[in-house]
Amino acid sequence: MLMDDYTPVHAVYKKRMRKLQKLLGSAADAVLVTSSENLRYLCGFTGTEGLLLLAGDSSFFLTDSRYTTQAREQVAATDTITFKDKAQELARIVRKCAVSGICFDSRQLTVAQFHDWEKALRGIRLVPRPDVFDDLRMMKDAGEIKLLGRAAKIAARGLAETLTCIRIGMTELDVAAELEYRMRRNGCAGAAFPTIVASGPRSAMPHGVASARRLARGEILLIDYGCVYEGYCSDETCTFFLGEPTAKQRRLYAIVKKAHDLALAALAPGAALRKVDAAARDYITAQGCGRRFGHGTGHGLGLCVHESPAVSSRSKSTARKGMVVTIEPGVYLPGWGGIRIEDTAVVTTAGCRILTKTDKHLRVIGC
Out of 136, 157, 183, pick the residue that ends a domain.
Answer: 136
Count of beta carbons in the 10 Å neighbourhood of residue 288: 10
What average pLDDT does the structure give for the chain?
Answer: 94
Q: What number is the average pLDDT over the span 303-314?
A: 97
pLDDT tens per residue, range 144-190: 999 999 999 999 999 999 999 999 999 999 999 999 999 999 999 99
In terms of domains, do 277 and 328 share one? yes
Out of 103, 136, 169, pick the residue that ends a domain.
Answer: 136
Determine which helix (DSSP H) or strand (DSSP E) holds 101, and give its type and residue range: strand 101-104
1 is a domain residue: no
In terms of domains, do 182 and 306 share one? yes
Please give the backbone phi and psi of residue 121, each rounded to the nearest 5 degrees, phi first.
Answer: -105, 40
In terms of domains, do 123 and 198 share one? no
- What is the C-alpha separation between 154 and 183, in angstroms, rounded? 6
In terms of domains, do 157 and 229 share one? yes
150 is a domain residue: yes
Structure-derived torsion over alpha carbons of residues 40, 43, 46, 51, reported in degrees to the nearest 10: -90
Total number of domains in the chain: 2
Q: What number is the average pLDDT over the span 262-290?
A: 98
Beta bridge partners of 237: 224, 342
- pLDDT above 80 (res 5): no
361 is a domain residue: no
In terms of domains, do 240 and 203 share one? yes
2 is a domain residue: no
In terms of domains, do 231 and 155 share one? yes
Out of 136, 157, 178, pick the residue that ends a domain.
Answer: 136
In terms of domains, do 78 and 213 share one? no
pLDDT tens per residue, range 191-202: 999 999 999 999
DSSP collapsed to 3 states, 306-359: CEEEEECCCCCCECCCCEEEEECCEEEECCCEEEECEEEEEECCCCEEECCCCC
CATH code for position 60: 3.40.350.10
Categorize the per-residue pLDDT at 25 as very low, low, confident or very high, splitting at 50, 70 and 90: confident
In terms of domains, do 72 and 192 share one? no
Q: Which of 357, 298, 339 is CA-nearest to residue 199?
A: 339
pLDDT tens per residue, range 85-107: 999 999 999 999 999 999 999 99
Provide the domain limits for residue 110.
8-136
- pLDDT above 60 (res 37): yes
- pLDDT above 90 (res 41): yes
Q: What's the pTM value of the predicted model, to 2 decimals? A: 0.94
